[in-house]
Amino acid sequence: MAPAFAYSTRSESAVPWEEVPRRNKALMRAVAAVVEDDLRDRIAGEVQIVAMTDVEWLREHAQDDKDRARLIGAEDAYRAAIKAVNGGPDAN
């Protein structure tokens, strides 16, 4: 990603990842984890809003078997999306 932001490591300090000091690696991983958590929270909220809007609309307007089948599909998709965003089988 660095080149996309016109960043490059100083040549005198550049080393392969395997040679990066342990504390530097730990810092990079900690920063990435914070960013990942923030993005996951934002995405989860957006997925819940969009998916629940679809599910609620279908619940209110389902009138035949085809609509009810779409409702079941929407509910399944909602649960799968939340599970994927939260990264585990226990997501609701």
| Inter-residue contact 91 to 83 (CB < 8 Å) | yes
d(CA 70, CA 74) in angstroms, rounded, equals 6
Alpha-carbon gap, residue 20 to 16, rounded angstroms: 7
- Calculate the average pLDDT of the chain: 77
- Tell whether the torsion through CA atoms of 28, 32, 34 and 35 is positive or negative: positive
pTM for the predicted model, two decimal places: 0.43
pLDDT in tens, 7-50: 888 888 889 999 999 999 999 899 998 888 887 777 766 666 66
Contact 18, 24 (CB under 8 A): no
